[in-house]
């Protein structure tokens, strides 16, 4: 199962050492700077682990019907794929598929990201969801490759 990342991160901004607690930071941003939340997330790009943790806290706190910009949803999948091996060797590959199944993410963008990082389980799911003869055929082929690779390990 996916384990939580550390609660605090030490980062360097303009040669100052800053300790960031993602949960507390998220609460401050929500309360005082809600309209700047996307800019805050994007400004964390030099620290992708922190950016991912902040995004996850932001997304897990959303209510039914809360709107989240597609750019942030795509960034979330991009970070999960790019940072497949998390802290303490946690593998995020299963989380990618679970996230895509649980929420309405932009399919085409996420499909391209999963192809780029060869996340075959999620790629197959998105192809299947996309439908059509080519999509179903690709999904079956990818699922077969995943089955073969997991049964020979």
Length of the chain as a residue count:
153
The string of pLDDT tens digits covering residues 11-37 is 544 455 555 666 777 677 777 666 778
pTM of structure = 0.73
Q: Is 20 exposed, middle or buried (0-12, 13-18, 19+ CB in 10 A)?
A: middle
Percent of the chain with pLDDT over 70: 75
The string of pLDDT tens digits covering residues 83-128 is 987 666 567 788 999 999 988 899 999 999 999 999 999 999 998 8
List the domain boundaries for the chain: 8-151
Q: Is 60 exposed, middle or buried (0-12, 13-18, 19+ CB in 10 A)?
A: exposed
**Sign, Cα dihedral of 48, 49, 55, 56:** positive
């Amino acid at each position: 199962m996916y384990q939580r990342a550390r609660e605090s991160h030490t980062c360097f901004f303009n040669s100052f050492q800053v300790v960031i607690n993602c949960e507390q930071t998220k609460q401050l941003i929500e309360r005082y700077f809600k309209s700047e939340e996307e800019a805050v997330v994007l400004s964390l790009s030099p620290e992708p682990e922190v950016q991912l943790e902040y995004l996850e806290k932001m997304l897990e706190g959303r209510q039914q019907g809360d709107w989240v910009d597609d750019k942030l949803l795509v960034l979330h999948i991009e970070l999960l794929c790019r940072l497949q091996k998390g802290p303490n060797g946690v593998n995020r590959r299963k989380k990618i598929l679970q996230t895509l199944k649980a929420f309405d993410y932009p399919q085409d963008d996420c499909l391209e990201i999963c192809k780029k990082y060869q996340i075959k389980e999620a790629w197959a799911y998105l192809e299947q969801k996309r439908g059509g003869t080519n999509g179903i055929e690709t999904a079956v082929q990818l699922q077969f490759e995943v089955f073969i690779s997991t049964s020979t390990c």
